[in-house]
Structure 1
């Protein structure tokens, strides 16, 4: 029996959240305040987040998955409907559609940006199509001009899955000022701004924001803050079926600190990404990220592609691991996972399949030193593909 290859004791991770003493103190302050579940800190975080992205309203939730689901529910999406989305995305994108009883219809991607190809989207529109769920993949903005034009032409709802896109810009506007009805963000530890778990929906529609706030808290007519601050007895009612999708004040306290330091986090990631771009320029077997001129990438992940086959990609990843460098496969192809194998729209996605088979996510995080990045780059240069 052959033994497993030896792996060096030094490991460079793909990602690592940046949490400092300020977040620790904010957590302590929240715990001592008496507000542990959704309360005044959540409301303050929503106000600050909306101001940052340039939207009129922000609604905090327990995750981006619940944000996507609630956005679809609030848009009236349900059984019998179809929602067009990419297969090249984390499975939560399609799952959120499936939760509603609707069917995800997978469109192909632009092989350079990894985002929805508008032409592929338009070809898939049917009488049952109700919405387009556009993903800003690994932080790079999708083609919102083309997608919003399609949505308007066919009277479809456009929702942005902006899970990875905090701080990214499209035509000099931050993602989160929705081109469609809503944009949904994630605060998972793999994201640049983290609250541990958590999500946010942004919208410019005040009535829609009110509806989202009700639905996230069991459709309660009065919030906890309103009831606790009332000077007269206040009794809530429950006029529709709602959900428990609340963010806690503890998470919001962390999120506000993270939002304050977001500019520094973005600057560092863009600096490290530029170092990768320059250092990998002389590797013809590797395709670096392509960023259209009208987009500003936040580099939530730095993904490269091999100009060869999946076995070569997997061998490279194993070789990197043995050198103490953690990598990840490209963004998954949802249509290859068991729950979606029978989805007919997943049978003709050549660009999605190619990117899923040949992409590699390299380490990139705020605390990454130039020396560690140089080691990653030097190790890559030792391989011949």
Structure 2
């Protein structure tokens, strides 16, 4: 194993985009229909089928999807919504969009996810919903949390932003969900540049979600333009412009066809990281939970005291040798935007956000890259 500086920088992520995606986007442009249209409808149907849901509703981002999900389940100003602080800040921000209050719950140390116990610890009579995140692609225990939410009479919104291709209890994440929100940001395995999706089984929710993403219109712009007769639309409620374009959907359809291959490759790279890191005391890499498989959207490592070097020093040394690693998942309650919030104690959340780092993992990562990365980690304590 060598620890010499590699001839190129190793990015922490790289979208798996190629000529087929470029041609699909170009075909959409040449068609003359670039806004939300037939390719969006095809992407919605294909994605929903892939995750085992009845319907898909494409939107402009996962943040938009979370916002619309909260509206759909009836969250209103003054309500409380339980969320993990250990998540990208959009999860908590969406709650503020509807005038509700985010109540932060702690997470499990090994998965970074909410559990029945951590949610129950902060649940009150004002709780109106729970947003649980499949953090970094690691599925939460859907059987346990869905059952508990049902007993409590609370809708469970699944933030599956990172989880396309992950499974729980042998089924795709999203299958059996009341409502799930997905991201197609470039950091995700399946990307459309920007973009998001809602998957739901309730047809009444689908109809309203499709209105809400398009200014509250009772008939979509695509349907109006496809009609041979004039269509006079009505605007049924104050809503939003959260549409996806056909250019994005064209890329998404190609990406969806490659998803299984991408997950298989990332899981192989993750397995090799596990082998390389196995004998370095104090480094604990993320693994599959016993009830499911992660797509390894992110490969994080927890640094225990036995390692002897702090997270920020590790990040600095990796950067000095050409490796673009990142701090672990952020904690929203520690950010200035939430300085006015005093949550219940969140010891695991604060440990994970302080003592984890994300190592590079993407389709173009080579064995030499991995050897170099782990060589740096080894050399720091040799």
TM range (shorter): over 0.9
Q: Are positions 1:236 and 2:223 aligned together?
A: no
Equivalent of 2:365 in 364, 368, 372: 368
Distance 1:229 1:31 in 2: 18
Matches within 5 A, 1:59-138: 59-138=57-136
Matched residue of 1:344: which SS? coil
How far residue 9 of structure 1 moved from its aligned partner, in angstroms, is: 6.6
Q: 1:224, 1:99 → 2: CA distance?
A: 26
Report the Cα distance in structure 2 between the residues aligned to 1:233 and 1:200, rounded to whole angstroms: 30
Equivalent-residue separation in structure 1 for 2:289 and 2:236 (angstroms): 47
- Alignment partner of 1:85: what SS? strand
Q: What residue ranges of structure 1 are gaps of 5+ in the alignment?
A: 1-6
The structural deviation recorded for 1:155 is: 0.8
The 5-angstrom pairing of residues 244-263 of structure 1 reads 244-263=241-260
Match of 1:305 among 296, 302, 306: 302
The alpha-carbon deviation at position 8 of structure 1 amounts to: 7.5
CA 1:96 to 1:178, structure 2 compared with 1: closer, same or farther past 3 Å? farther
Selected match of 1:201 from 194, 198, 203: 198
Structure 2: unaligned runs, 5 residues or longer: none
Q: Distance in 2 between matches of 1:41 and 1:226?
A: 13
Q: Secondary structure at the match of 1:228?
A: helix
Alignment length, in residue pairs?
A: 377
* C-alpha contact 2:138 2:289 (8 A) present in aligned 1: no
TM-score by length of 2: 0.96
1:47 match: 45
Contact persistence 1:131–1:156 (CA under 8 A): yes
Contact 1:118 1:146 (C-alpha < 8 Å) held by counterparts: yes
Residues 1-22 of structure 1 deviation map (CA, whole Å, 9 limit, x = unaligned): xxxxxx9872101000011100
Normalised by the size of structure 1, how large is the TM-score?
A: 0.95
In the TM superposition, what are the counterparts of 1:317-328 in structure 2 within 5 Å? 317-328=315-326
> Aligned equivalents of 1:79 and 1:310: distance in 2?
47
Query: Which SS does the other structure have where 2:310 is aligned?
Result: helix
2-side partners of 1:241 and 1:31: how far apart? Answer: 31
User: Would the aligned equivalents of 2:308 and 2:381 in 1 still touch at CA under 8 Å?
Assistant: no
Is 1:349 the equivalent of 2:323? no
Aligned-residue offset at 1:311: 7.2
Specify the alignment match of 1:176 in structure 2.
174
Contact 2:133 2:159 in 1 (8 A): yes
- 1:330-349 map, 5 Å: 330-345=328-343, 347-349=344-346
Partner of 1:31 in structure 2?
A: 29
Distance of 2:355 and 2:146 partners within structure 1: 30
Which residues of 2 match residues 270-289 of structure 1 at below 5 A?
270-289=267-286
- In structure 2, what is the equivalent of residue 151 of structure 1? 149
CA RMSD of aligned residues (A): 1.5
1:84-138, Cα deviation, whole Å (9 max, x unpaired): 0100000000000011100000000011111013212112111110000000000
What is residue 4 of structure 1 aligned with on the other side? none
Matches of 1:8 and 1:374, distance apart in 2: 10
Provide the secondary structure at the position in 1 that maps to 2:140: coil
> In 2 relative to 1, CA 356–20 (structure 1 residues): closer, same or farther, beyond 3 Å?
same
In 2, the alpha carbon distance for the partners of 1:285 and 1:261 equals: 36
The answer for the alignment partner of 1:190 in structure 2 is 187
Task: State the distance in 2 between where 1:324 and 1:12 align.
Answer: 6
Offset of residue 293 of structure 1: 2.1
CA distance in 2, matches of 1:123, 1:382: 42
Matched with 1:296 is 293
- Structure 1 residue ranges, 4+ long, deviating more than 3 angstroms after superposition: none
Contact 2:309 2:381 in 1 (8 A): no
Distance 2:7 2:272 in 1: 25
Q: For the residues of structure 1 that align with 2:290 and 2:170, how far apart are their CA atoms?
A: 10
- Distance (Å, rounded) in 2 between the aligned partners of 1:265 and 1:210: 33
Task: Decide which of 198, 207, 212 is 1:210's aligned counterpart.
Answer: 207
Match of 1:3 in 2: none
CA distance, structure 1, for counterparts of residue 362 and residue 281 of structure 2: 25
Deviations 1:60-94 (A, max 9, x none): 00000000001001111121100001000000000
Partner Cα separation in structure 1 for residue 160 and residue 231 of structure 2: 37
Quote how far apart the aligned CAs of 1:310 are.
11
Does structure 1 retain, via aligned residues, the 8 Å contact 2:61–2:195? yes
Q: What secondary structure, in the 3-state scheme, does the structure 2 residue paired with 1:15 have?
A: coil
- 1:219, distance to aligned residue in structure 2 (A): 0.9
